[in-house]
Structure 1
Amino acid sequence: MEALLGPDEIDLAPWSSRHTFPSPGDVDRELARIAEAHPACRRERLGPSRGGRPVTMLTVPGGPRHVLVVAGPHPNEPAGNLTIVALARLLTRTSRWTGSIGCTWHLVGCIDPDGAALNEHWTSRPLDLDAYHRHFYRPPMARQPEWTFPAPGWDRPLPETTILHQLLTTLRPEVYIDLHNADFGGAFFVMNRPHPALSTALRDTAARHRIPLSHEGIDTAGWAKDGPAVHLMPPAHEMVITPPGKDRPSHGASSLHHLPDGAIAVMPEVPLWPARTLPTPYTGGPDGSGYADLMRRAAATLSERAELLKACLDRVLPHLPRDTAVFTDAVTDTLRAATGCATLWDSMAGGPVTRGQYAASDDGAISFPLRAAGMLLRALTAEPVAARPAPLEAEHAAVAEAFGGWINDLQATTPAPYPLEAVVGLQTTTALRAAAIGP
């Protein structure tokens, strides 16, 4: 069955008109309302988060095949919260995607509500680049439900990870959709294994929602593909590596490494903003040497900005309140990832580089420092101005100045955000087509 939606079939009210996203609490209340209006559905509390917030799920019955959809694996990626609402409304309005294809759906509103709460200052406002980065939060990988699944050398799953692991074990879904969104550019997808029919359908889905494909990603460099813009998750032993000098990995495995046998999983990565205007036009030859030079420059820019922020962080840590560690630990992890990317891009620039690869590196050279600077500013402003030691005031001024220059450059090169109907429509249709096609 073809799983195609028209714009009028996706109900995003009231968030679409405001260009905002529902909080985990908003999603939970909407799922409760739907369960009350549709007695065949079941809403259940799966457990508390680390901070005591509820993690809930709505089950929409329809047949023996189970589909599990999870929102919020990264708390700075709120599009999935709205997609869960859209899916719940759609699945309870028609049997086209339940009984007609024999699927029972399980919709988890937000798997990391604690992290999402630290992003609500920007997710509850119309999309804005300055607010996004100034109030940004993304935890270290060791505190992400998506990346703390059991793996060799790693046995520290979070409560939220345990909840999701138990769902995968008990429900044994045939189809698993892990809802992600990116910042800029085009859409791409991550799957657990090749599935040519589904991969083709995913590319077609992006075209139908008028979101271009991104053939390269910051996070997927070097990964195998199942055709253009569809990446395959590497095995756990390639992703979970113990750093030199450490006695354990810095994070665990992904949910895609713990699926039931035969299941198919899709991570749709859907951007909030279109591709930026690249600041430097390509003038190189057909061998790609021009892009290689530009990638090398992006790596150098990223290294320079990461070193600036790392030096500032080292200076301010002794003066910061203890409770700011939620931000400073995340800054450290972001800068570690940035340094790794800069090293990778510099090595890739030794050979031919495509426009997509360069664009990904250029995005990273902008976004990594802004994310880290935004979280560092949140730590530096945790106390009122009058209570801050003089060293913190000086460092705050320096970071704020750097942030201001970087965000001005970003705003000057970034178009208006995509309509939420397109972003959520692509995630929703991805789930429907995966369920209809099956494993």
Structure 2
Amino acid sequence: MDRDTILRLVSEVPDHDGFPLVDDLHARFDALAAAHPDQVTVTRIGTSRLGEPLHSYRIGSGSHAAVIVGGVHPNEPIGSWTALHLASTMLEDPVAAAALDVTWHIVPTIDPDGMRLNEAWFHDPHDRVFYSRHFYRPAPDSQVEWTFPNSYKSVYFDQVLPETLAFMRLIDDTEPDLLVSLHNGEMGGVYYYLSEDLPDVIDLLHAVPESLGLPLDTGEPESPFLRELAPAVFAMDGIETAYDYLEGLGVDPGEHIHGASSASWAMRHGALCMVAELPYWSHPDADDQTPTDESYADLLRRCADELGASGTELQEILDLASPMTTIETPFLEGSRAFVPMLLSGPETDRARADREPADRMATVAERFGCEDLVRCFRLRYGGMLLRALEAETTAGTASAPLRRLRDRLAERYALWQADAVTGAEPIPVGRLVGVQYGAILACAAHVADPTRASRPAMATTNLPGGS
């Protein structure tokens, strides 16, 4: 499949008003399987923690295997439409399917339990305040993407979730040439993670958002240790790189690193791994490289102080509320994990600020990225803690002091909502799906290229129990 064909297919992705609910998503995949019984094989790969069957839909009979998994973070549903559009196209466009020579193994959502806790905002993903108020993200040790086995230096992790185990089995059973876990971000532009430095793929990863009128995210990267392969394309170097970076800063890596990712597991089989990170909202500052009058080091310190102050406020409320809570909701579990991170995370930024040249000025994009991360975390995790306290007030189990804490947090949260960035524009969902879909096609075309060298043998990695 050539570049022009991929860009044409990307341009044909339809728009959507919101995101499908979990039951609707599963019903749509089941309808596809019923309509194409000779082309779709449905396999149960596991069971969620709340007892929901997890299924993989095998489509096609190509000589290259690709695993595509949605819902790895349940607050990231762009991949729901992407997975559905990919499945529909491969079933209904035999020319495109034949050009890729791929057998697809598609999981619509690997964490249906968590995704259901975000469904309140799926019908209106364009309002950031509404989105954040109904936001849910599992605690790190309850995230499917980050609970793969891991053993490196002082870190040892083997608390694999049932959903992660299903994901692991699917990877081991299919030994894929390509793994794509379907992620997305929130604000800014498009950026990617890629497990290999592939100029032909990177060229298409740049061309796809450009063809849809979407900017690349060239500001502050998601993590400071990331290795850039090209603008807005970062290497998937694994937790070893993160660990060594934090250790070099004098920060305890064990406080920040636990499980490994799905990519680390798939690369044992020689898979090419890719993640496309897409925003719900764009902002003109996200790719503005104009220097500001603030040094990068001062920017890091200022935002670290602001984030730490917000963390202190939330931690005080959480500490006061904890003895009075009676309902162990996922929101409370998440709050107990993320609120302390708002206090410990700034430690890393302050440490690296001390190593930045004092005369290196921050760009507009970097300033926007750092400042918006503070806004994002306040809205996300303040909203989750508020949902945890509201579970008690709604159930009628909240004492009078707990109700007063809920009111105090709601008042503070309203101020953070009012501080939501101006000038942000919602991006049509169809364009976001188009970027993710096009990135998958670009990687699939690469692995199916008959002139490509054969993939490497299974590599050894630092995993509990060996590989």
Q: TM-score surpassing 0.5? A: yes
Distance 1:341 1:204, change over 3 A: farther
| Aligned-partner residue type, residue 368 of structure 2 | A
- Residue by residue, what CA displacement relative to the aligned partner does 1:107-145 show, whole Å, maximum 9, x if unpaired? 110011111011111113353212211111101110011
Distance 1:202 1:170, change over 3 A: same
1:423 maps to 2:421: no
Structure 1 portions without partners, runs of 5+ = none
Q: 1:22 is matched with which residue: 10, 20, 23?
A: 20
2-structure distance, mates of 1:189, 1:7: 17
Kept in 2, the 8 Å contact 1:277–1:414? The answer is no
Kept in 1, the 8 Å contact 2:290–2:363? The answer is no
Residue 97 of structure 1 corresponds to which residue in structure 2?
A: 96
| Aligned-partner residue type, residue 342 of structure 1 | P
1:265 maps to 2:273: yes
Distance 1:43 1:388, change over 3 A: same
Kept in 2, the 8 Å contact 1:28–1:56? The answer is no
Q: Secondary structure at 1:21's aligned position in 2?
A: coil
1:368 maps to 2:371: no
Kept in 2, the 8 Å contact 1:181–1:271? The answer is yes
Residue 78 of structure 1 corresponds to which residue in structure 2?
A: 77
CA apart distance, 1:231: 0.9
RMSD between aligned residues: 2.6
CA apart distance, 1:23: 2.0
Range that drifts further, 127-136 or 241-250: 241-250
Residue 462 of structure 2 corresponds to which residue in structure 1?
A: none
Distance 1:414 1:317, change over 3 A: farther
1:381 maps to 2:385: no
Moved over 4 A (4+): 239-250, 281-285
**Where do 1:239-388 residues align within 5 Å?**
239=242, 251-259=258-266, 260-275=268-283, 284=292, 289-324=294-329, 326-350=330-354, 351=356, 352=360, 353-384=362-393, 387-388=397-398
Q: 1:402 is matched with which residue: 394, 412, 428?
A: 412
CA apart distance, 1:391: 1.4
1-structure distance, mates of 2:84, 2:413: 34
Q: Secondary structure at 2:106's aligned position in 1?
A: strand
TM-score, normalising length: structure 2: 0.85
Kept in 2, the 8 Å contact 1:63–1:102? The answer is yes
Residue 144 of structure 1 corresponds to which residue in structure 2?
A: 143
- Residue by residue, what CA displacement relative to the aligned partner does 1:213-241 show, whole Å, maximum 9, x if unpaired? 11245532221121111111223334469
Residue 188 of structure 2 corresponds to which residue in structure 1?
A: 185
Q: 1:227 is matched with which residue: 214, 225, 230?
A: 230
Kept in 2, the 8 Å contact 1:282–1:291? The answer is no
CA apart distance, 1:284: 4.3
Structure 2 portions without partners, runs of 5+ = 448-454, 456-467
Pairs aligned (count): 427
2-structure distance, mates of 1:311, 1:414: 32
Kept in 1, the 8 Å contact 2:291–2:364? The answer is no
1-structure distance, mates of 2:397, 2:61: 58
Q: Secondary structure at 2:50's aligned position in 1?
A: coil
2-structure distance, mates of 1:163, 1:414: 42
Distance 1:222 1:298, change over 3 A: same
Q: Secondary structure at 1:147's aligned position in 2?
A: coil
Distance 1:437 1:7, change over 3 A: closer
Q: Secondary structure at 1:436's aligned position in 2?
A: helix
Distance 1:344 1:97, change over 3 A: farther
2-structure distance, mates of 1:60, 1:158: 26
1-structure distance, mates of 2:252, 2:365: 34
CA apart distance, 1:435: 0.4
Range that drifts further, 51-60 or 174-183: 51-60
TM-score, normalising length: structure 1: 0.90
2-structure distance, mates of 1:199, 1:31: 30
Q: Secondary structure at 1:173's aligned position in 2?
A: coil
